[in-house]
Amino acid sequence: MDFPVELKNFLDKEGLLKQWPTKKTMQDIALNHMFTKFSPDRKYSEPEVNQVLRQCHTFENPALLRRAMVDAKLLQRTKDGREYWVEKKEEPAQA
């Protein structure tokens, strides 16, 4: 996985996120990068979301990342947390 260069101090030898950044700016960069691993054309179960996130980091806290993605409105979920999806953004109308 190739994270943005700004996160180099947070990556292990394999290029996986080894710790969660404390600065919001760095967290946003990490979340936006991990977000690219989700398909907008499907719904995910919680275990499937965790599986995608585990491919991006080594600190074994997919729940933290999952909540952060929902809080950042990168992923949407049902109230019971059974299904997650990428909210499709509408394209601006062409003039």
Tens-place pLDDT, residues 20-72: 999 999 999 999 999 999 999 999 999 999 999 999 999 999 999 999 999 99
- Residue 38 domain boundaries: 5-86
Q: Does the predicted TM-score (pTM) go above 0.75?
A: yes
Contact 6, 26 (CB under 8 A): yes
Residue 37 is assigned to a structural domain of this protein: yes
Q: Is residue 92 part of a domain?
A: no
Q: Read off the DSSP letter of residue 9.
A: G
Count: domains in the chain: 1
Amino acid 3: pLDDT? 82
Q: CATH code at 42? A: 1.10.10
d(CA 11, CA 81): 29
pLDDT at 90: 54
87 band by pLDDT with thresholds 50, 70 and 90 = confident
- 19 domain residue, yes or no: yes
